Structure 1
Amino acid sequence: MSSKTVTQTLNEAPLGLFHLRAVLTAGMGFFTDAYDLFIIGAALVLIKAQWHPSSAMIGLLGSTALIAAFAGAFIFGRLADVFGRKSIYGLEAAIMAIGAILSAFSPNVLWLLIFRFIMGLGIGGDYPMSAVLMSEFANTKDRGKLVSLVFSMQALGLITGPIVALTLLSSGINPDIAWRLMLGLGAIPATAVILLRRRMPESPRYLAQVRGADKQAALGLKNFAGTEVGIVDEKEPTRRLSLKEMLSQGRYWRLLLGTAGSWALFDYAYYGNSISLPLVIKSVAPHATDVTSIAWSLIIFAVAAVPGYILAFMTIDKIGHRRLQWLGFLIMGAAFGVIGIVPNLTHDILPFLLIFGISYFFAEFGPNTTTFVLSAEVYPTSVRATGHGFSAGVAKFGAFIGVFAFPLLVKALGLNGTLTITFVFALVGLLLTLLLPEPSGRSLEDISPVDQTPTYSKTGS
């Protein structure tokens, strides 16, 4: 067998069980992120009835975890590049578990805001960790599929939340207790993440390319994957790009504008609509009960969103990561535009749900998946978690604005006017996508070289 470096082995490895283990380990974190972020939408319906918060306070309750995620993604992303991925594996999940448990015991709105903020720090930290963990263990051919599979665990989190809410409410549990159970149950998958992540080795790519520890990287990969790794006499080239060096180069600002900008615009639309979805249903069908509005939310997630996630990971490497993103922005934006422009569409539940469902499908089969994937591919190994963390952090700030502003905008402009703004944001997100290279079919090292300007198109696409 010819001698290979650790990086060559990872890039050329056929799909194996160790890839599936990495998907599960990274994906459980993302399942927890999704459950914790989106369950607040169902809980808010009950919290509103118990504590009668103002529209501004409803926006804060829905968005506090997102503004915390903004900070957590920055902090943990940078720490993972400075101290190594394994130093952060599991730590962010512990913070999520603590925040979820404390949220369940909140005595009032103020304490709930504080505890959701704590949990949000862990959620933000998990974004770069889940993405980078998988992208650095993935092979070149299937990287998009594998990272998308991790992200598709969000679909399970999306539908688990409404199922938990419906189960608790239909069981006759006191609504004041039901919302506490909804929030507190997020600690269970977070605990599983802690156990899985602590058993993961340090990223072999990080060890070989940043620390120059080729033998340690090969041993860790062999123990995790059962793969024999031949180390060539000449070590892999290593270089640690400092944050100052990264921010002094225009090409990284271009990448950050493309990844963070498009992701923030998407999250403004997506989280504003998703977390407020039970409230959206209420505005379209004002006589619907709490159970009915949550049930409609579950139907939208299950019928429109889940197939979008599945089709995304099945086809992303064939279609192209960047191409799928702008295609999704285009059709998702068009759906929002139709809702915003067509008179009375927001007063007829079935046509509204049909068009809204199309927007959800192309959100998942598009930028909701690809923003996560692209941010884990286009930066060099030494600043990959930093770049992804920065992008995810800015995105969660966009999500915070969307969730906080959504009920206020609906009150001021109506649902039509609010979704017209979302339509404009989707078009701008499409344009920012064009700043990024096409990573499909290319190794991480080819996409994100440290010492030369990356090629911005594989085939002119």
Structure 2
Amino acid sequence: MADTSDASEMDANDSASCTGSESAAQGTGRRAQCLATLVSSFGLMIDYYDFGVMNVVKSFLQEQYGEMSAAQNSTLSVSSLAGAVAGMLVIGSLGDRYGRRSMFIVCATLTFAGAALSACAWDDGNGSIYDLLTLFRALMGFGIGGEYPISASHTAENADSDTSSRNLALVVSALSVGAALAPMVVLMILTLGGSSEFSWRFVFGFGALCSLISLSLRLMFVEDSEKFKKEQQRNEREGFRQSIRKLRKYAKPLLGTCGAWLLYDIVDYGLALFSASFAEKATGATPKRAVASVLQYALMALPGAFVAVAIVPLIGRKQTYLLGTGCMMVVFIVLSTFFHEITKSLALYNFVYGLQLFFDVAGPCVTSFMIPGEIFPTAVRATAMGLSASSGKVGAVIGVYAVGLLQANIGVQHMFLVLAGICFVA
């Protein structure tokens, strides 16, 4: 994986435009940076909320509509991820051609529509609601997928060389906030005594409302950066195909960002969509306590983003990725080796499992988003970011299926050892 120390060699035009005085002249001042970071952060926070919420509402759905078949369970789990892969590729490419603002609006609109339709899903008495939710969440996933390349590109282009890594880290830290928000909302509803049907509809509806707010913010405040507008004018003169050919020069770093993100998301998403069931199976926790465990994991992970902000300038992007992934590997080995001792206590299991997520966010979570957002030139940044992020979501689909099969066939204990091996390869 290429580090951003190579960025000046890879794109002299971009690096030359990153001095403080030129950034101010190009409209990338403090206000533009803050708006770009806040809007992108809010969007990704809601996106990860929408991604993770299925993990904590499946029990409500099955209580009301009956058990899902194995095929329905797997398909419903990966539908949003499959949609995200398509969204990253399509919207990422369109973002380089038609602008960040227009694609930001498209993403928020699709995410809102998918979440709202999910909240209004119905059943004909034969379990058809699971098929409808699969369709609606795929639509939502398409919008979420587009967020990744557009958010990274828009944030980087509204920052200068001194603040780019910080702003990108703050944006990706919003994923951890979204991960905590999903179980928090569910626990609030359970505490207030909400019925199963009200609970899952409210949870999906809340995501739709937040997406609508995100759409409004983008309509009011988001504008394409001056850096992007100048590059867009150049593309119009040279032709868009000429800009795409520029990707050939970055084949090696693109392969690195795609491969590293794919391997990382096999582990990250494979665990994220099953973390509540792991807590139940490993420790015998009740469903409510399992949801509380998911909230604890998210809260333990959140400080990792701020640790990444601190250590990236000291040791570099690639080294931060390697350090975080290595620490995750060690935790997985500990979980597998001392599984029976650790799982005797839910509190101890939650701490060790949450520690893995802390290293996840402090290392590969932040840097796999940060590196492709910085090292590619403006003309093809969203396309390259979309290719990198979509590779990650292909890994996520693999991870969801693989983790589900692993826990069913070899058990949670040995599954952790397999995940340690994937971290080593990554």
TM (normalized to structure 2)?
0.88
Greater CA deviation, 150-159 or 17-26?
A: 17-26
Q: What is the aligned-residue RMSD (CA, Å)?
A: 2.3
Gapped runs of 5+ residues in structure 1?
A: 214-236, 430-461
Q: Deviations over 1:90-122 (max 9, x none)?
A: 111110000001011222110010001000000
Q: Deviations over 1:21-47 (max 9, x none)?
A: 211111111111111001111112222
Of 354, 357, 361, the match for 2:354: 357
- Do the aligned residues in 2 keep the contact of 1:89 with 1:197 (CA within 8 Å)? yes
* Structure 1 residues 48-197: aligned runs within 5 Å: 48-50=62-64, 51-107=66-122, 108-197=129-218
Distance 2:362 2:120 in 1: 37
Of 323, 328, 344, the match for 1:327: 323
Distance 1:10 1:128 in 2: 27
State the match for 2:282 in structure 1.
Answer: 284
State the match for 1:28 in structure 2.
Answer: 42
SS in 1 for 2:224: coil
Of 367, 370, 373, the match for 2:370: 373
Deviation >6 Å, runs of 4+: none
The aligned amino acid for 1:208 is K
**Per chain length, whose mean CA-contact separation is higher, i.e. which structure has more relative contact order (CA < 8 Å, sep 6+)?**
2
State the match for 2:8 in structure 1.
Answer: none
SS in 2 for 1:202: coil
Q: Deviations over 1:259-298 (max 9, x none)?
A: 1111111111111111211111111122x22211101111
* Structure 1 residues 241-320: aligned runs within 5 Å: 242=242, 245-246=245-246, 249=248, 251-286=249-284, 288-302=285-299, 304-320=300-316
Distance 1:6 1:172 in 2: 56
* Structure 1 residues 330-345: aligned runs within 5 Å: 330-345=326-341
The aligned amino acid for 1:194 is L
Gapped runs of 5+ residues in structure 2?
A: 1-15, 123-128
Deviation at 1:340, TM superposition (A): 2.4
Distance 2:21 2:309 in 1: 20
Distance 1:313 1:124 in 2: 24
* Structure 1 residues 198-237: aligned runs within 5 Å: 198=219, 199-212=221-234
Distance 1:284 1:45 in 2: 17
Q: Deviations over 1:388-445 (max 9, x none)?
A: 001111111111221233222201110122222211111121xxxxxxxxxxxxxxxx
Q: Deviations over 1:206-262 (max 9, x none)?
A: 21234149xxxxxxxxxxxxxxxxxxxxxxx98966475245x3x523222211111
Distance 1:341 1:375 in 2: 35
Distance 2:155 2:110 in 1: 21
The aligned amino acid for 1:406 is V
Q: Deviations over 1:49-83 (max 9, x none)?
A: 33201233222222210111011000000001122
TM (normalized to structure 1)?
0.81
Q: Deviations over 1:185-226 (max 9, x none)?
A: 11122112212222322121121234149xxxxxxxxxxxxx
Count of matched residue pairs:
399
State the match for 1:19 in structure 2.
Answer: 33
CA shift in 2, pair 1:10/1:150, >3 Å: farther
Greater CA deviation, 97-106 or 59-68?
A: 59-68
State the match for 1:433 in structure 2.
Answer: none
Deviation at 1:11, TM superposition (A): 6.4
- Do the aligned residues in 2 keep the contact of 1:32 with 1:189 (CA within 8 Å)? yes
- Do the aligned residues in 1 keep the contact of 2:78 with 2:400 (CA within 8 Å)? yes
Deviation at 1:309, TM superposition (A): 1.8
The aligned amino acid for 1:336 is F
- Do the aligned residues in 2 keep the contact of 1:40 with 1:183 (CA within 8 Å)? no
State the match for 1:390 in structure 2.
Answer: 387
State the match for 1:456 in structure 2.
Answer: none
State the match for 2:125 in structure 1.
Answer: none
Distance 2:212 2:422 in 1: 37
- Do the aligned residues in 2 keep the contact of 1:241 with 1:383 (CA within 8 Å)? no
- Do the aligned residues in 2 keep the contact of 1:239 with 1:382 (CA within 8 Å)? no
Deviation at 1:343, TM superposition (A): 4.8
The aligned amino acid for 1:306 is L
SS in 2 for 1:140: coil
Instruction: Flag the structure with higher helix content.
Output: 2
Deviation at 1:347, TM superposition (A): 3.3
Q: Percent identity?
A: 29
SS in 1 for 2:302: helix
Distance 2:400 2:342 in 1: 19
Distance 1:105 1:52 in 2: 20
The aligned amino acid for 1:185 is F
State the match for 1:45 in structure 2.
Answer: 59
Distance 2:153 2:180 in 1: 25
CA shift in 2, pair 1:311/1:11, >3 Å: farther
